[in-house]
Structure 1
């Protein structure tokens, strides 16, 4: 299982698509306890809800059968003003989670978060979303080696993503 970094609220008709949805997505089993904690957003596919975000982090905290997600974005630069948003995530299958950013109104602001890869030491994770409107490369550290980024991009391509559209995130 895993938690969401962010979730798209755009409708399927208006959200950009970054993956060939005819390619089946392959999730991985995740040790939930090892996945908890702070992750840095290394790269992402462009989306409206992270416009002008740098220094992005996601912190996951186990809450019984669900998880609390605290996403933090810094405006413009890694040391810019911070804004945060909490969500609740519920496991729905191996490597698959539903994330709800608007718990007050059931069904609105709910998104899929699928873990496509996690390094054996849990230092790197690749996550995606079945429609292909979002995807991220996450790390336990603010910077990663080029070989780690290459691994992440290979995972995204194998899952139908067009990595020419991904953006590195300033940390």
Structure 2
């Protein structure tokens, strides 16, 4: 084996063992999610960067019951809240019926699947924290287009407490009313 290939394989092995941003400190999902409270429209308040949502603003996620799971339509506007609309359709099923806090989301007719966890929810304040199971991606979602400043600060503090680097959070422009 050439020296160059050995170095490349060593680097690839080292990168493969590097944990995602929050995996070491990532909390477990909440103890229980009331599925009826997942229904309806959720607005994106903050997120960790991801390629799919690059340049997205005024993000929403609409959850409706569909058979044994949920039909989920995620949308955003590219470049500005009035920019061109991008949409992704998914099917969500409960991956842990004991807590209802883990969902398996399938996109593009099942070609892509990912598990998402509800890490915190504050139904009384209308927000939740959703992340991929590995901590690579995270979203702060609200049942209203914007959160009051004090509530938003509390939610961001909770994200930090869960072990995520809040300095990496993006705060896309909200839906304009």
After TM superposition, the score normalised by the length of structure 2 is 0.80
**Cα offset, 1:120, TM superposition:** 2.9
Give the whole-Å Cα distance in 2 for the aligned partners of 1:122 and 1:103: 34
Q: Report how many aligned residue pairs link the two structures.
A: 154
**Cα offset, 1:24, TM superposition:** 4.2
- Name the residue aligned to 2:173: 170
Mapped pair 1:35 → 2:38: yes
Give the secondary structure class of the aligned counterpart of 2:52. Answer: helix
Structure 1, unmatched stretches of 5+, are 1-11
Q: Is contact 1:25-1:130 (8 Å) kept?
A: no
**Cα offset, 1:17, TM superposition:** 3.5
Mapped pair 1:25 → 2:27: yes
Give the secondary structure class of the aligned counterpart of 1:156. Answer: helix
Give the whole-Å Cα distance in 1 for the aligned partners of 2:116 and 2:146: 23
Q: Is contact 2:121-2:129 (8 Å) kept?
A: yes
- Name the residue aligned to 2:143: 140
- Name the residue aligned to 2:108: 102
**Cα offset, 1:130, TM superposition:** 2.7
Give the secondary structure class of the aligned counterpart of 2:109. Answer: coil
Mapped pair 1:69 → 2:72: yes
Give the whole-Å Cα distance in 2 for the aligned partners of 1:110 and 1:78: 28
Aligned match for 1:114, one of 86, 109, 117:
117
Which is higher, the Rg of structure 1 or of structure 2? 2
Q: Higher relative contact order by CA 8 Å / sep ≥ 6: 1 or 2?
A: 1
After TM superposition, the score normalised by the length of structure 1 is 0.83
Deviations 1:11-44 (A, max 9, x none): x95xx9431x222422121111122000110000
Q: Equivalences for 1:143-162 in 2 at 5 Å? A: 143-162=146-165
Q: Give the ranges of 4+ consecutive aligned residues of structure 1 lying more than 6 Å apart after TM superposition.
A: none
Structure 2, unmatched stretches of 5+, are 1-14
**Cα offset, 1:104, TM superposition:** 4.7
Q: Is contact 1:124-1:138 (8 Å) kept?
A: yes
**Cα offset, 1:146, TM superposition:** 1.9
Q: Is contact 2:26-2:164 (8 Å) kept?
A: no
Mapped pair 1:44 → 2:47: yes
